Amino acid sequence: MQSSVNPNSDRRSLRVAVVGGGITGLSAAYTLAKSSKSDQRALQVTLFEASRRLGGIIRTEEADGFLMELGPDSFITNKPGGVRLCEELGYSTELISTDSRYRRSLVLSRGRPQPVPDGFMLMAPEKPWSLLTSPVLSLRGRLRLLAEYFVPGAAPAGDESLASFVRRRFGSEALDRLVQPLVGGIYTSDPERLSLRATMPRFPEMEAACGSVIRGVLKQKQTAGRGASEGSGSGARYGLFATPRRGLGDLVSTLERRLRTAENVRLQLGTPIQAIHGPAQGSAEWVVQTEGQQQQFDAVIVTLSTWLAAKMLQGDQFLQLRQQLNSIEYASSALVVSGHLLSDFTYPMDAFGMVVPACERRQILAVSFSSRKFPERAPDGQIVLRTFVGGAMQPELMQHSDQELLEIVNSELQQIFGMSREPIFAEVMRYDRAMPQYHVGHLDRVAAIEHSLQQHTGLQLAGSGYRGVGIPDSIDSGREAAERVLRLF
């Protein structure tokens, strides 16, 4: 998020507040700490975190031989942010990739788990012929999907919803039975409202450049086959997803250790910010208010959800910015992490997980077979599942108590996978308004926020609400915000 800069070059020291100790805030603080070390810049960094632990949504627990990811479980490697940070920390040897033995995904189809057609990436079939034998779509649906190759490009000017794009190019059945659940598993969003340009720009780009998405995907595959992209992406070494051997919480601990040993970084845990005040007339100092205390800073990096950032920014000068930040909607979801004996299922659980189309009318969004996806997550003969509930399509489910959510999940696991016994353990995590919804027009909304920020020198906004919802995006967003602050010198 761009803000205009203050050529503050004669200052000897710059005091920077980082608000929020999730991965975005940690990335920002780490970038500042690292730079101050290498450039000998006089920089004082204070990171404020409301809770007593760092990591925000990222949380890993270990017990009785199980490793449980209670938030995210991995990050994509074709966006460089995550891998690059691990490399800088000397941590990349700790990264593991997915277990190739179970490398396939399932989709619930008429009540039964079926493999997602081989090579089907979100909406694009890399191996069109593998679709022909898939029972997930009717013959008519399969032929319509493959006919995309010949559908002339007719993109509307400007943004388009994911649903409109997929219906136009691949047909309704592909949308309802494959694309909606696969994309919903990432964004927990309503495809009728999800912005294509903000979430999957490469697909409309393929339509524009090649006349068809399938043509674009095949062309890309050919180029990759000739070795043009080999080794160029950070993902080349790890596969599409990577995670630390001891879980994402271990990456957070590594960052925390690094920050605790940095001379000019102060971590203030258990310190919720109550308000942020812009500089008074004739001053350039920002005021960060915590309970009973006010502290002055030259720059503030706010890494909270946009609606929380709006709450913190007080005063009439932020009226427009607050409205813009509040225009980005968020969805709530719950995650049930449970441990089971493999023998308690009639289904072999031989995949990375399963997504559930809305048209199946179930009460779960997706189940990740966590200990199949990554090794060393469960003792032999046992399995860790992560079942997602709620999201933008089923917000009413969030009204249930934890016990009711557990019962819903158990009932679904029984019906779908033939689970015969209650889990060995189960934990319910609630994520209240944690998933930003990149609705049609999102990029315009973000551009407007960036424009407004130019009036507030010293203020930076970062996090998953703006230009990418995943961990690598958040890491990049925090780093870029810190780099903009460093340019204040």
Ligand X SMILES: Cc1cc2nc3c(=O)[nH]c(=O)nc-3n(C[C@H](O)[C@H](O)[C@H](O)COP(=O)(O)OP(=O)(O)OC[C@H]3O[C@@H](n4cnc5c(N)ncnc54)[C@H](O)[C@@H]3O)c2cc1C
Does position 317 interact with ligand X (CB under 6 A)? The reply is no
Does position 125 interact with ligand X (CB under 6 A)? The reply is no
Does position 49 interact with ligand X (CB under 6 A)? The reply is yes
Q: What six digits make up the tokens of 489?
A: 């010198």
User: Residue from 3, 31, 67, 71 that binds ligand X (CB under 6 A)?
Assistant: 71
Among 215, 178, 183, 219, which Cα is nearest to 199's?
183
**Per DSSP, what are the bridge partners of residue 75?**
242
Q: What are the distances in angstroms from CA 96 to CA 75, 89, 237, 364, 440? A: 11, 16, 10, 28, 35
Does position 308 interact with ligand X (CB under 6 A)? The reply is yes
Least distance in Å: CB of 353 to ligand X?
A: 11
Q: What is the DSSP letter of 439?
A: B
Among 298, 284, 260, 254, which Cα is nearest to 41's?
298
User: Residue from 36, 77, 303, 370 that binds ligand X (CB under 6 A)?
Assistant: 303
Burial grade of 177 (CB within 10 A; 0-12, 13-18, 19 or more): buried
CB under 6 A: which stretch of 43-51, 124-132, 281-289, 353-361 binds ligand X? 43-51
> Pairing state of beta strands 366-369 and 353-355?
antiparallel
Among residues 109 and 370, whose Cβ is nearest to ligand X?
370
User: Residue from 31, 371, 410, 474 that binds ligand X (CB under 6 A)?
Assistant: 474
Does position 182 interact with ligand X (CB under 6 A)? The reply is no
Least distance in Å: CB of 225 to ligand X?
A: 28
Q: Considering only residues 341-400, where is the footprint of ligand X by CB under 6 A?
A: none
User: Residue from 25, 117, 181, 353 that binds ligand X (CB under 6 A)?
Assistant: 25
Please count the residues of this chain forming the interface with ligand X, following the rule CB under 6 A.
Answer: 35
Q: What six digits make up the tokens of 159?
A: 């943004």
Residue whose pair of structure tokens reads 């490697």 in the numeric block? 77
Cβ atoms within 10 Å of 92's Cβ, excluding its own:
17
Phi, psi of 196 (to 5 degrees): -70, -40
Does position 50 interact with ligand X (CB under 6 A)? The reply is yes
Q: What six digits make up the tokens of 158?
A: 């400007």
User: Residue from 28, 33, 43, 57 that binds ligand X (CB under 6 A)?
Assistant: 57
> What string marks each residue from 416 to 455 as x (binds ligand X by CB under 6 A) or -?
---------------x--xx--------------------
Does position 273 interact with ligand X (CB under 6 A)? The reply is yes
Strand, coil or helix: 204: helix
User: Residue from 15, 16, 48, 206 that binds ligand X (CB under 6 A)?
Assistant: 48
Q: What six digits make up the tokens of 154?
A: 């007719």
Contacts of 146 (CB under 8 A, 6+ apart): 125, 128, 131, 132, 214
CB under 6 A: which stretch of 69-77, 143-151, 171-179, 217-225 binds ligand X? 69-77
Does position 60 interact with ligand X (CB under 6 A)? The reply is no
Q: Say how far apart CA 247 and CA 72 lie, in whole Å.
A: 10
Among residues 212 and 437, whose Cβ is nearest to ligand X?
437
| Amino acid present at 472 | P
Contacts of 461 (CB under 8 A, 6+ apart): 1, 301, 302, 303, 306, 309, 325, 449, 453, 481
User: Residue from 36, 73, 108, 458 that binds ligand X (CB under 6 A)?
Assistant: 73
Least distance in Å: CB of 26 to ligand X?
A: 7
Least distance in Å: CB of 256 to ligand X?
A: 12
Cβ atoms within 10 Å of 3's Cβ, excluding its own:
22
User: Residue from 72, 81, 184, 244 that binds ligand X (CB under 6 A)?
Assistant: 72
User: Residue from 46, 74, 199, 338 that binds ligand X (CB under 6 A)?
Assistant: 74
**Rule CB under 6 A: which residues touch ligand X?**
19-25, 48-51, 56-58, 71-75, 272-273, 303-304, 308, 333, 335, 431, 434-435, 463-464, 469-471, 474
